[in-house]
Structure 1
Amino acid sequence: MENADILVSCVYPNSVERGGFEMTDQKQVAHHYHSGQLLRRIADGCAALDLTPPISHDALAPVDEFHIGGRLATEPFVKALGLSPESRVVDFGCGLGGPARYVASATGAHVTGVDLTAEFVETGRALTEWTGLSDRVQLIEGSVLDLPLEAGSMDAAYMIHVGMNVADKLGIAREAKRVLRPGGIFAIYDVMQVGEGHMDYPAPWASTSDQSALETPQTYEAALRSAGFEVSDRIDRTEFAKQFFADLAAAQSRAEGPPPLGLHLVMGDDTALKVRHMVQNVEKGLIAPIEIHARLAV
């Protein structure tokens, strides 16, 4: 489609490689999330909706808010950060950059997103161009355990549905402490383990159990405290998730097929199976979306 071709031409493939994970882990994570032609699929979806740049970041939310609750979860999570146009923020594992663009648009803050998956970063840069937010959002390929940022350069940090792919929770917390200024906040919204039992895979974050790094909220909090943070809040979003899943199922039952823009463009042909397993694991009380907020001493 002509509009899709115009959109694809916006991509900027330059990237920065960083270390931090074990190489095997890097390959597993990148392979799980890489799908190929992601930008083309999103461009085709935009063309089907007659969307051409400049495109509102709200219009892209169905495809670039890759976490339980999507934008409905992002809004209160970001509000709690208390950001301003002067804030400098880092997004740990930014994916396509949806939350980063929302933060920049809603608060005026400058956001640097870092993600291990090159295709996500390259596609996210194009989406940032489409939305006209490149002056406030920078996406970089790299590891959340070795951020390409100077020490003490950030006012706030957040991580959304990323820790399930990183076994070294203490390493994440230490890296957050390194890049934050005194008094900086680190907010996490992850799927966490809250019960014992058989977990169904594939899930959105891992194809098999050996690729998953699920941990309990207590493990996250212990890592944060060990790194020097004071944990101020923990919020269990289980009931929110169940209602979100119910609303999503109701909407899908009324639809005649997948929408032009949706997470199926990111997760691929087995999207339904991955989501079904995640819902089942939540309903069995094995996992839950949890927010944890922590702050460094001034």
Structure 2
Amino acid sequence: MSLTETDIARHYGKRGLYERIITGLAELGKSEESLTPEDLKAVDEFHIGGIEATRDLMAQIDIGPQSRVLDIGSGIGGPARHMAHSHGAAVTGLDLTPEYVETARRLTTLVGLSPEFVVGSALDMPFDDRNFDVATLIHVGMNLPDKPKLFSEVARILRPGGTFAVYDVMQLGGAHPEFPVPWASSADTSFLDAPETYLAAADKVGLTLVAQRERVAFARDFFDRLSASLQGASPPPVGLGLLMGEDAQLKIRNMVKSIGAGDIAPVEMIFRLPG
């Protein structure tokens, strides 16, 4: 693991995260013995729009029981569990942060699902060539300094005709958000890029763009609701605050300000590898 990757893993790593999630769920009257995937959605979909965004992305791709899926930057496993539970797909999650992978494994076992989770880098994936039908990247590219290498790895592990679904925060204007933001505490681990950078990297390895859209209004509505939920001295016992830490509201404010200024936005891109 490179020094940059170590710093990124440290930014996300939260010791005791599983225990805090279980404690928060208990405060809501949810016991470990009866948890469902839906009970975890407030905390395990760590991206703008949460489960709504995941469903919107999945609606644009062909995914079902026949699909072998790689979720790149899988976090604590929310999208991977959703794809397994709602679509019946065979899912593997890859993430740089050991605490996230361990939490993802334990939560997945707890709710009786089958996705597997592996510690590793999106820029050097520990998988054989042509191993997956679908790859997803949900709010991960902001931590990846080498987009051409990412797309080269995706093209390598996808089978002919495979799909790469991206939902990332991208740079639209000239100014970077103030730090901290949800994905980085300083410039050392923030690698925002313009949509054109993604498109150029895809074109270089033969991935064809089939759909693209910016989700600015969607993002503003989501952050309005999230900020309201974090107001006051008692934030919800289970929510993204568990992942973002004590400065969650500051991270959200900085991001919202930058979205409002037109400098950044969440963007969906769907690519296909020729069959």
Query: Aligning the two structures, in what range does the TM-score lie when normalised by the shorter sequence?
Result: over 0.9
2:10 paired residue number? 31
Report whether the alignment pairs 1:133 with 2:113: yes
Amino acid in the other structure paired with 1:268: G
Question: How far 1:85 sits from its partner (Å)?
Answer: 0.4
Question: How far 1:33 sits from its partner (Å)?
Answer: 0.6
1:73 paired residue number? 53
- 1:137-152 correspondence to structure 2 within 5 Å: 137-152=115-130
1:294 paired residue number? 271
Return the match for 2:102 from 122, 145, 162.
122
2:72 paired residue number? 92
Q: Give ranges in structure 1 of 5+ residues lacking alignment.
A: 1-18
Output the CA distance in 1 between the equivalents of 2:268 and 2:260. 18
Return the match for 1:203 from 160, 174, 181.
181
2:245 paired residue number? 268
TM-score norm. by structure 2 comes to 0.96
Return the match for 2:216 from 238, 242, 251.
238
Amino acid in the other structure paired with 1:163: G
Describe the superposition over 1:263-289 as per-residue Cα deviations: whole angstroms up to 9, x where unpaired. Answer: 111111111111111111111111100
Report whether the alignment pairs 1:224 with 2:224: no
2:27 paired residue number? 48
Q: How many residues align?
A: 274
Is the contact made by 1:116 and 1:142 (CA closer than 8 Å) also made in structure 2? Answer: yes
Q: Give ranges in structure 2 of 5+ residues lacking alignment.
A: none
- SS of the counterpart of 1:127? helix
- SS of the counterpart of 1:189? strand
Return the match for 1:155 from 133, 154, 157.
133
1:279 paired residue number? 256
Amino acid in the other structure paired with 1:103: M
Report whether the alignment pairs 1:83 with 2:60: no
Question: How far 1:199 sits from its partner (Å)?
Answer: 2.3
Question: How far 1:198 sits from its partner (Å)?
Answer: 4.9
Output the CA distance in 1 between the equivalents of 2:228 and 2:125. 40
TM-score norm. by structure 1 comes to 0.89
2:150 paired residue number? 172
Describe the superposition over 1:123-174 as per-residue Cα deviations: whole angstroms up to 9, x where unpaired. Answer: 110110111102xx00111111122211111100010000000111011111
Question: How far 1:50 sits from its partner (Å)?
Answer: 2.4
Is the contact made by 2:230 and 2:236 (CA closer than 8 Å) also made in structure 1? Answer: no
Amino acid in the other structure paired with 2:59: K
Question: How far 1:49 sits from its partner (Å)?
Answer: 1.8
Output the CA distance in 2 between the equivalents of 1:30 and 1:84. 31
Output the CA distance in 2 between the equivalents of 1:146 and 1:172. 8
Question: How far 1:55 sits from its partner (Å)?
Answer: 1.4
Output the CA distance in 1 between the equivalents of 2:261 and 2:234. 28
Output the CA distance in 2 between the equivalents of 1:196 and 1:176. 28
Cα 1:270–1:249 change in 2 (3 A) is closer
Output the CA distance in 1 between the equivalents of 2:221 and 2:26. 31
Output the CA distance in 1 between the equivalents of 2:225 and 2:149. 37
- SS of the counterpart of 1:155? strand
Question: How far 1:57 sits from its partner (Å)?
Answer: 1.0
Is the contact made by 1:96 and 1:121 (CA closer than 8 Å) also made in structure 2? Answer: yes
Question: How far 1:252 sits from its partner (Å)?
Answer: 4.7
Output the CA distance in 2 between the equivalents of 1:218 and 1:88. 28
